[in-house]
Amino acid sequence: MEIIQSDKQRAERLGSGLRHGSRKSLRRRRGIFGLFLAASASMSVIALYQLGILRRVPEPTSRRFDSDNITGSAEAYSLLATPDAVLAMGSYAVTMTLAAMGSPDRANERPLLPIALRVEESTTGCRRSLAVSAVSGFVPD
DSSP 37-63: HHHHHHHHHHHHHHTTSSSS----S-T
| pLDDT for res 138 | 43
CA–CA gap between residue 38 and residue 3 (Å, rounded): 27
C-alpha pair distances (Å), 10 with each of 13, 15, 115: 5, 9, 23
Confirm if 47 and 86 have CB atoms less than 8 A apart.
yes
Domain boundaries along the sequence of the chain: 23-136
| pLDDT for res 106 | 93
C-alpha pair distances (Å), 121 with each of 91, 93, 109: 10, 12, 21
Ordered per-residue pLDDT tens for the chain, 141 residues: 556 656 888 889 999 999 999 999 999 999 999 999 999 999 999 999 999 999 988 877 777 777 787 888 888 898 899 999 999 999 999 999 999 999 999 999 999 999 999 888 887 766 555 555 454 444 444
| pLDDT for res 140 | 46
| pLDDT for res 122 | 81
- Write the CB contacts of 118 (distance below 8 Å, at least 6 apart in sequence): none
Q: Where are the alpha helices (DSSP H) in 21-140?
A: 24-50, 67-71, 84-100, 106-109, 112-136
Looking at this protein, which amino acid is placed at residue 51? Answer: L
C-alpha pair distances (Å), 123 with each of 7, 45, 75, 100: 34, 23, 19, 18
| Angle (deg, nearest 10), helices 112-136 and 24-50 | 40
